[in-house]
Homo-oligomer: A and B are copies of this chain.
Amino acid sequence: MDPRTGLPVVGMVGAGQLARMTHQAAIALGQSLRVLAASPDDGAALVAADVVVGDYRSLDDLRAFASGCYVVTFDHEHVPGPHLKALAADGVLVRPDAAALIHAQDKAVMRARLTELGIPCPAWGDLSETDLVTFGAAVGWPLVLKAARGGYDGKGVWVVSSPEQAAPIIASGTALIGEARVPIARELAAVVARSPYGQAAAWPVVETVQRDGICVEVLAPAPGLPPARVNEAQALALRIAGELGVVGVLAVELFETTSGELLVNELAMRPHNSGHWTIEGARTSQFEQHLRAVLDYPLGTTTPTAPAVVMANVLAGPDDVKPASVDERVHHCMARWPDVKIHLYGKGFRKGRKVGHVTALGSDMAEVRERASAAADYLANGEGA
């Protein structure tokens, strides 16, 4: 309890853009997010009042951070499970808890559990148990290798055509799972939230547009997705949230196959890039909802605020091509698109880095998408439409 406000204190481990945007939402709720930052220059550390600098891999640092928090939550899934259990044993409320979070930390555990629940996934095998040649013979080549832990934004994922091509990856000693390569029409995400009380809420299902394994755009709602598929995706995400005991936001990344089937790709148990559009595009943003959930407050309405919403990531381009300053880029972007909402994460613009996002709203998806994409491109590259 913060004696100045009479409200419980929420601590978030990690101080990147997710914590930064969660802090924005926290302010409205009378809160001030406490963050555990790796560096005082982290995006959230630049804007929050209650910053602890420390290492999320150190139990001592986590304990010092958790002291005084009503609940501890996360802007990433990298805190070691034993540390989470130790905190819980200390009496710290950890949400989501270690038993839920392991499914966002370890793809082998996640796949095993989802398979047990009968939730559709690509055919898969745990390569610490199953021989690659046997697995390849069963699902066909090429197939996909994934690091069981630590991958993100296309890192830790390899498409391999033969055991020979896989050999150096296997030799590196990384724990791997194998997955059948499925014929993907597009990628979707079903984002939901669940509270300890058991209340749950789903946002509209979105399409996530990927380039080189990195999400570049999110279209809300997913264009042309039949209502039955929307319901299926939301029901699937809500079921996973309930079965795994998730508290907070759960993002379920999905493949829509060329035959229209939905398969689970990955899980994230925190605000997620596929939900950034909700800041302006839904009555309750994923950041506010995550706070409501971890505080066990009633969840907010997830109704969209416009028929078509597009979020486009700002992935910094090479700075030497157009050396416009960030300030100039913002200036010109605002002049050209006075209704596009800009979100910058307080990061230096280094090539390929996700430094912000923009959101456009309207009634025609194609028009809205063009506007968001052009604005993001302009911010990223200092040039554009």
Contact = CB atoms under 8 A, between A and B. Distances in A.
A334 B298 contact: yes
Interface in A133-160: none
Interface stretch (A22-30, A90-98, A186-194, A239-247): A22-30
Contact of A339 (B51, B301, B330): B301
A343 B29 CA distance: 6
B32 A28 contact: no
B338 A300 contact: yes
A335 interface: yes
A292 B331 CA distance: 9
Contacts of A6: 325-327, 348-349
Contacts of A49: 45-49, 51
A251 to B, nearest CB: 21
B300 A330 contact: no
Contact of A29 (B30, B284, B335, B344): B344
Nearest to A25: B24
A63 interface: no
B346 A30 contact: yes
A48 B47 contact: yes
B28 A342 contact: yes
Contact of A5 (B4, B46, B284, B297): B46
B334 A30 contact: no
A8 interface: yes
Given A32-B46, A326-B30, A344 B5 contact: yes
Interface centre among A27, A305, A338 (most CB of B within 10 A): A27
Nearest to A41: B4
Q: Interface centre among A30, A41, A284, A335, by most B CB within 10 Å?
A: A30
The copy count of this chain in the complex is 2
A10 to B, nearest CB: 12
B46 A356 contact: no
Interface string A284-314: 1000000010000111110101100000000
B46 A339 contact: no
A283 interface: yes
Nearest to A5: B346
Contacts of A341: 28, 283
Contacts of A334: 292, 297-300
A225 interface: no
A349 B30 CA distance: 12
Nearest to A30: B344
Contacts of A20: 27
A163 to B, nearest CB: 47
Nearest to A346: B5
A7 interface: yes
Contacts of A331: 297-298
Interface in A326-376: 326-327, 330-331, 334-335, 338-339, 341-349, 356, 361
Contacts of A338: 284, 298-301
Contacts of A29: 330, 342, 344
Contacts of A298: 331, 334-335, 338
A270 B345 CA distance: 26
22 contacts: A4-B41, A4-B46, A5-B346, A6-B349, A7-B326, A7-B327, A7-B330, A20-B27, A30-B346, A32-B46, A47-B48, A48-B49, A283-B341, A298-B334, A298-B338, A299-B334, A299-B338, A300-B334, A300-B339, A301-B338, A303-B339, A305-B305
Given A28-B344, A298-B331, 7 more contacts: A4-B41, A32-B47, A46-B49, A49-B51, A284-B338, A298-B335, A299-B338
